[in-house]
Amino acid sequence: MELFERKWNDFLKEDIDFDKVGEATRDPQKSKEIYKLLLDMFPKQKELIKYHYEEDSFAELKRFLHDIEKYQLEGPSKTSNFKIDPEVKKERDRKYNQYVRGEIDTYFRKDPKDPRDVNIENYPAVLLDDNNEVIDGNHRAYIAQLQKKPLMAYKIVSKTNNHPNVEKIKSILGLNTL
């Protein structure tokens, strides 16, 4: 019973920590500070960081930020070695087929182009995890698979991050520092 209680408390603490990350990244001033610190840490990934800062207040990077001391960003690099979650692929199939049948007007959220006609190699890079699973950019990854073409990708890799900004970001997020 004691082991269960310890695990339950750890689970609750992590949930509270993710709430803190969400609150901090939705705060415009804190989000801007995190953005600047990330740019300093990962200058080669500026395009990715800028996108996630401007488009979604780092929503897709919450887990990365939560455990930033355990991760590095790599890329971008061209790859065909990526995986789409089976449930997500099923949803992409459904949406793509709806578009082809004329049941919906757009396939991409902000791009009215026909997905059958796009050159996916000209689209923004996707984000992959350590297992090459798509974290962000499933629409683009799906089209790349249909076209049997590679695409540009950034990758979050499990690698100790000792950059001085790690502690600053953890502090902004309200998480215990290293």
Q: Would you state the pLDDT for residue 22?
A: 87
Q: Would you state the pLDDT for residue 160?
A: 97
For the chain, the domain total comes to 2
Q: Is residue 75 part of a domain?
A: no
Same domain, 54 and 98: no
| Cα–Cα nearest to 133, from 86, 85, 88, 90 | 85
Same domain, 153 and 168: no
Other CB atoms within 10 Å distance of the CB of residue 100: 13
Same domain, 119 and 150: yes
CB of 71 closer than 8 Å to CB of 158? yes
Q: Is residue 128 part of a domain?
A: yes
CB of 107 closer than 8 Å to CB of 115? yes
Q: Is residue 43 part of a domain?
A: yes
Same domain, 167 and 147: no
Residues 6+ apart with CB under 8 A from 107: 95, 96, 99, 114, 115, 139
Q: How far is CA 127 from CA 2, 108, 151, in A?
A: 39, 17, 11
E strand intervals along 30-162 = 71-79, 126-128, 134-136, 151-158
CB of 126 closer than 8 Å to CB of 141? yes
Q: How far is CA 123 from the centre of its chain?
A: 16
Q: Is residue 178 part of a domain?
A: no
Q: Is residue 45 part of a domain?
A: yes
Range of the domain at 28: 2-70+162-172
Same domain, 95 and 153: yes
Same domain, 143 and 168: no
Q: What phi and psi, each to the nearest 5 degrees, are found at residue 5?
A: -60, -40
Q: Would you state the pLDDT for residue 171?
A: 95
Run means of pLDDT, 10 residues per run, the chain, 178 residues: 46 61 92 97 97 90 94 96 96 96 91 92 92 95 96 96 96 79
Same domain, 47 and 61: yes
